[in-house]
C-alpha cells in the first residue's frame, strides 16, 4: 500500500496495515459481544487482505493486530491440534486454523466475498467469539473419561492386542473442540443432553479391553440426558474436524446398552 502525497501522515499515527500485492480483499462479518456494553452487540465488518495460503485464523489475527485489538477469540496451536478455535463460519462449525482461504476465495479476484464468523451455538457467549466451555467440560467429566481398573498396579504396561486397540482407535482422535456438540440440534434445545463429544469420549474407554468401568459409564449414558436423546441427524459427524465417525460411535454405545456390549 502506498501513501499518496496529499495525505498528511503524522509521526504518531499508527502504521498502515500491510496489504500484500497478490492478496484478495475479503469482508469478515464478525459477531461482537461485550459483557460491559451488552446493548452494543451485533455484527461488525472488517475488510482484510487474504492470500490463498492463509487460514481464516490469519485473517482474524490481522483484524486483532491492525484494525481492532479488542476482538476476542481463542486460539493456541494454529495447527488443528489444541481444539481451541472452534467457531461458526458461514453457518458451519469449523476450526479457524484449519479453514484454508484457497477453498473460500473466488477465482475472480475482483469479486469480494463476505465471510460470517460467529461463536459456536448452545454455550453462553462470554465475549465476541469466546464461549463458556464449562457446561461442555462438565458433560465430558461426567462420563469418567479415564482408565478405570481394579487390583494392584501392574509392574509393566497393560498389554493389548492390535485388534483390541483398533476397536476404539477412531474415538482417541478427539481434541475436545466442541464442534460436534455445538452443532447438535438436540444440544441446542435441551442443554442437559450430554452431547456427542462426551459420548465419543465415553466410547473411547467403554471399548478399551484394559478398562473395567464400562458398565458404570453405560449406566451414566442410559440416563434420560444420555445417548437416547440422539436423533441420528449426523450434524456432529459432519462438523468433526478430526473426521471421527461421531454418530457411529453413538450408535455403538446405544448397541452396547441394548446388548450388554
Query: How many residues touch ligand FES (CB under 6 A)?
Result: 12
* Alpha carbon of residue 258 to chain centroid: 31
Which residues face 118 on adjacent strands? 88
Cβ distance 75 to 85 under 8 Å?
A: yes
Candidate ranges 60-68, 70-78, 145-153, 205-213; the one touching ligand FES (CB under 6 A): 70-78
Q: How far apart (Å, rounded) are the C-alpha atoms in residues 145 and 46? A: 41
- In 149-244, the DSSP E strands lie at none
Which residues face 88 on adjacent strands? 93, 118
Q: Which does 84 bind (CB under 5 to 8 A by kind): ligand SF4, ligand FES, none?
A: ligand FES
Under the binding rule (CB under 6 A), the answer on residue 197 touching ligand SF4 is yes
Cβ distance 61 to 40 under 8 Å?
A: no
Q: How far apart (Å, rounded) are the C-alpha atoms in residues 175 and 173? A: 6
**Least distance CB 137 / ligand FES (angstroms):** 16
Under the binding rule (CB under 6 A), the answer on residue 214 touching ligand SF4 is no
Binding mask 120-159 for ligand SF4 (x = CB under 6 A): ----------------------------------------
Q: Among the residues of the chain, which ranges form H helices? A: 56-62, 134-142, 162-166, 185-189, 196-206, 214-221, 235-239, 246-258
Under the binding rule (CB under 6 A), the answer on residue 82 touching ligand FES is yes
Q: Which of residues 162-191 bind ligand SF4 (CB under 6 A)?
A: 174-180, 184, 186
Under the binding rule (CB under 6 A), the answer on residue 235 touching ligand SF4 is yes
Show the cell assigned to 230.
440422539
The 10 Å Cβ neighbour count of residue 59 is 24
Measured from the CB atom, the residue of 24 and 235 that comes closer to ligand SF4 is 235
Kindly tell me which residue out of 29, 47, 64, 75 binds ligand FES, with binding defined by CB under 6 A: 75
Binding region for ligand SF4 (CB under 6 A)? 83, 174-180, 184, 186, 196-197, 200, 230-236, 239-240, 242, 244, 246-247, 250
Amino acid at each position: 500500500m502506498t501513501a499518496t502525497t496529499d495525505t498528511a501522515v503524522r509521526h504518531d499515527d499508527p502504521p498502515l496495515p500491510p496489504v500484500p500485492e497478490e492478496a484478495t480483499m475479503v469482508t469478515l462479518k464478525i459477531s461482537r459481544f461485550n459483557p460491559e456494553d451488552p446493548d452494543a452487540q451485533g455484527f461488525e465488518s472488517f475488510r482484510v487482505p487474504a492470500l490463498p495460503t492463509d487460514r481464516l485464523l490469519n485473517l482474524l489475527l490481522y483484524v486483532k493486530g491492525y484494525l481492532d485489538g479488542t476482538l476476542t477469540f481463542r486460539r493456541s496451536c494454529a495447527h488443528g491440534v489444541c481444539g481451541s478455535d472452534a467457531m461458526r463460519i458461514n453457518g458451519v462449525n469449523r476450526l479457524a486454523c484449519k479453514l484454508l482461504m484457497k477453498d473460500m476465495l473466488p477465482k475472480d479476484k475482483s469479486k469480494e466475498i463476505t465471510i460470517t464468523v460467529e461463536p459456536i451455538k448452545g454455550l453462553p457467549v462470554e465475549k465476541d467469539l469466546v464461549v463458556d466451555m464449562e457446561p461442555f467440560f462438565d458433560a465430558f467429566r461426567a462420563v469418567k473419561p479415564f482408565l478405570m481398573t481394579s487390583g494392584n498396579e501392574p509392574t509393566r504396561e497393560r498389554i493389548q492386542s492390535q485388534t483390541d486397540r483398533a476397536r476404539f482407535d477412531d474415538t482417541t482422535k478427539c481434541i475436545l473442540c466442541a464442534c460436534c456438540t455445538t452443532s447438535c440440534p438436540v444440544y441446542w434445545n435441551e442443554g442437559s443432553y450430554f452431547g456427542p463429544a462426551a459420548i465419543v469420549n465415553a466410547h473411547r474407554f467403554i471399548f478399551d479391553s484394559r478398562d473395567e468401568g464400562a458398565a458404570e459409564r453405560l449406566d451414566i449414558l442410559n440416563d434420560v440426558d444420555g445417548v437416547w436423546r440422539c436423533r441420528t441427524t449426523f450434524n456432529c459427524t459432519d462438523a468433526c474436524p478430526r473426521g471421527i465417525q461421531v454418530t457411529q460411535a453413538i450408535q455403538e454405545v446405544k448397541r452396547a446398552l441394548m446388548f450388554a456390549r
